[in-house]
Amino acid sequence: MKPIRLLDNRLANQIAAGEVVERPASVVKELLENSIDAGAGRLTVEVENGGVKLIRIRDDGHGIPQDELALALSRHATSKISELEDLEGVATLGFRGEALASISSVSRLTLTSNVAEQASGWQARVEGRDMEAQVMPAPHPVGTTIEVKDLFFNTPARRKFLRTEKTEFSHLEEVVKRLALSRFDVGFTLRHNQRSVHQLRPAVTQAEKDRRVAALCSPKFIENAVIIDVAASGLKLYGWVGLPTFSRASADLQYFFVNGRVIRDKLVAHAVRQAYRDVLYNGRHPTFVLYLELDPAMVDVNVHPTKHEVRFRDGRTVHNFLFSTLNRALGEVRPEDQLPPTVLTNPPQPPASGIDAGEFQGQETIRLAAAPAASGAGHYANESPGGGGNHERRPAISEAPSPGQVKRQIEAYSQLYANSAEQVNASQARAVDENAVQESSVAFSAQAAVQPVPENDALTPPLGYAIAQLKGIYILSENDQGLILVDMHAAHERITYERMKQAYQQQGVRAQPLLVPKSVSVSEREADCAEEHREYFSRLGLTLERMGPETLLVRQIPVMLHNADVEKLLRDVLSDLMQHGTSDRIEAHINEILATMACHGSVRANRKLSIEEMNALLRDMEQTERSGQCNHGRPTWTMLTMDQLDKLFLRGR
């Protein structure tokens, strides 16, 4: 055995660099965070060879005085905290004082800075071999410039793990994008090999912020996003949430910021997945750019060397707030919100959301971020658009039904729901008691029968009026902008599902005792958790009794879960409770059963519908939550504008 001895300063910094400096992107992240903490309003990043050869960052922050330049390059030197109480409420991006020392130990670093009180700037140079800083005067405006050359020049083993120039720059660009999304008040410029990649001006107004998000996340995202701004109980959530129809194959468009710091957190990811649970197609990932603000003392940012993870003091409250806000925002999106603003509609009043936000009833704003560009459909009703071409007079929009026709539509659609209710009753009779299903069926049948008669027939609804049925599968409808295509089974499936959920929530969870109570062996920690959350399980219809240090007895379960694997379900719920402080496993299982019932109880393909039935279905879609997707996450309708149809037939060319 070798004797124990202290590591020398150079070796200690190089070991620390292994945690902080993984690749050029890590260097840019640490330096940009320092510049933002210094109050910079404009940042310029210049890199060469993906950042391996050169990284130069300029800022207009308050700078570093001459007598602190050499100290700034020392390990654990920082101006951001001075005692333990400061660490408990960190409001800056950096605070450990390791970045500059770690970077300088594996590169040739030049730090030039000036402050308002100095006559001129000063420069400090250091190389990884000797770690001694050489300080000399150098002209520089107020602010700081840092040059990092020849990264890992003295640690060739680390350099061999770097990827190609293109890959390293893509990681570096992603870091700049995240910081640009976190601070709209700061301007960013990124150049690679003398070529300008991003030039982002400071964004103050909502329109400017939309433009920055569109530039960094694509215009399609901002066109298919809902703006959220909700504050309650000391928490504030705002930003952009992509519609379920704008999902992606990978989780590459997900940005979440806590007090301006971009993080990746399991609790946040779980809350978002819950909110998108029954509107997202299997295997797809939601898109969002979200910002959570809370008291810095309520979040611990010192849990990971790269500060990518945080720990919330009250994770359950944060989780419930995120889930209820996002779930309500997605549920309130209606077809008229997804149409261009040129369409004048008579939108029905949305029903109250079935989600109980509990204590999270604060001031909120939820609206569509930006509709797609207007297609000029206003020209198509009575006149041809300008600009030449062979556009001829188009037929006007389908005539709105008279009040008498509307009444017949309501009666026809009520009968449609009655038929569906009979199918639901038949399929559910084996799984639930007949009274519960009958009450559920009556509830959504009654709701379908109450359809308001439009006061002004001249206003066209968002989904227009039905004109035909295609192959017994799709409904063709005409609105002010063009052609609407609706998958009638998928649309009716969502409507039935939402009404069954509402009926189930109104009548509460019905439970039934087990003839033979089921004994489940668990760990002592899981048993303690079950005992602590006994009331929570009771509300879900599960009655538990602790029979020993590692044994639970299940005496009662929800009626709808009588065929479920109770032991597995119980273990999953306990796992969620211990990890996230909450669980939706039982609700999810019940919703899966309701979704199956709704699927079997909805109109099937090849069923001929009358015009009245089709129009009534369209009106119901306009009032139903999440009607843009079926229970499996597939879209229920789409639109072809007149411009899109003209392009298909080369009209006007």
How much is the average pLDDT of 517-544? 88
Which pTM was predicted? Answer: 0.75
Q: Which of 256-265, 292-301, 403-412 has the lowest mean pLDDT?
A: 403-412
Say if strands 195-200 and 187-192 run parallel, antiparallel, or are unpaired. antiparallel
Q: Report d(CA 502, CA 352) in Å as an integer.
A: 10
The tens digit of pLDDT for each residue in 345-382 reads 444 444 333 334 344 444 455 555 544 333 333 333 33
Write down the CATH number for the domain with range 206-368: 3.30.230.10
Q: What percent of the chain has pLDDT over 90?
A: 45
531, pLDDT greater than 70: yes
pLDDT of res. 653: 77
592, pLDDT greater than 90: no
pLDDT of res. 412: 52
User: Which residue intervals of the chain bear CATH 3.30.565.10?
Assistant: 9-200
- Within its chain, how far is the Cα of 295 from the centroid? 22
Which band of pLDDT confidence, cut at 50, 70 and 90, is reported for residue 303? confident
CB atoms within 10 A of CB 452: 12
Two structure tokens written together for 583:
């669980």
pLDDT of res. 577: 85
Mean pLDDT of the chain: 81
Cβ 365 vs Cβ 227: under 8 Å: yes
537, pLDDT greater than 50: yes
How much is the average pLDDT of 73-96? 79
CATH of range 509-581; options 3.40.50.11540, 3.30.1370.100, 3.20.20.220, 3.40.50.300? 3.30.1370.100
Give residues with Cβ within 8 angstroms of 282, minimum separation 6: 632, 633
Q: Which of 88 and 137 is assigned the larger pLDDT?
A: 137
Q: Report d(CA 81, CA 252) in Å as an integer.
A: 34
Give residues with Cβ within 8 angstroms of 648, minimum separation 6: none
Element (H, E) at 197: strand 195-200
Which band of pLDDT confidence, cut at 50, 70 and 90, is reported for residue 17? low
Q: Which of 17 and 213 is assigned the larger pLDDT?
A: 213
Q: What class does CATH assign to 9-200?
A: alpha beta
How much is the average pLDDT of 93-100? 81
Q: Which of 4-18, 484-498, 556-570 has the lowest mean pLDDT?
A: 4-18
Which band of pLDDT confidence, cut at 50, 70 and 90, is reported for residue 242? very high
How much is the average pLDDT of 303-312? 78
- Within its chain, how far is the Cα of 61 from the centroid? 32
Q: Which of 452 and 107 is assigned the larger pLDDT?
A: 107
pLDDT of res. 483: 95
In the chain the first and final C-alpha atoms are separated, in Å, by 85
The tens digit of pLDDT for each residue in 105-120 reads 889 999 999 999 898 8
Element (H, E) at 214: helix 206-217
The tens digit of pLDDT for each residue in 169-191 reads 999 999 999 999 999 999 999 99
- Within its chain, how far is the Cα of 437 from the centroid? 35
pLDDT of res. 524: 92
How much is the average pLDDT of 182-204? 96
pLDDT of res. 396: 35
In what order do the strands lie in the sheet containing 261-262? 261-262, 254-258, 288-293, 235-242, 225-232, 364-368
How much is the average pLDDT of 223-237? 93
User: Which residue intervals of the chain bear CATH 3.30.230.10?
Assistant: 206-368
Topology of the domain covering 398-505+598-648: formyl-coa transferase, domain 3 (3.30.1540)
628, pLDDT greater than 50: yes
Backbone conformation region of residue 586, classed left if phi is above 0, alpha if psi is from -120 to 50, else beta: alpha
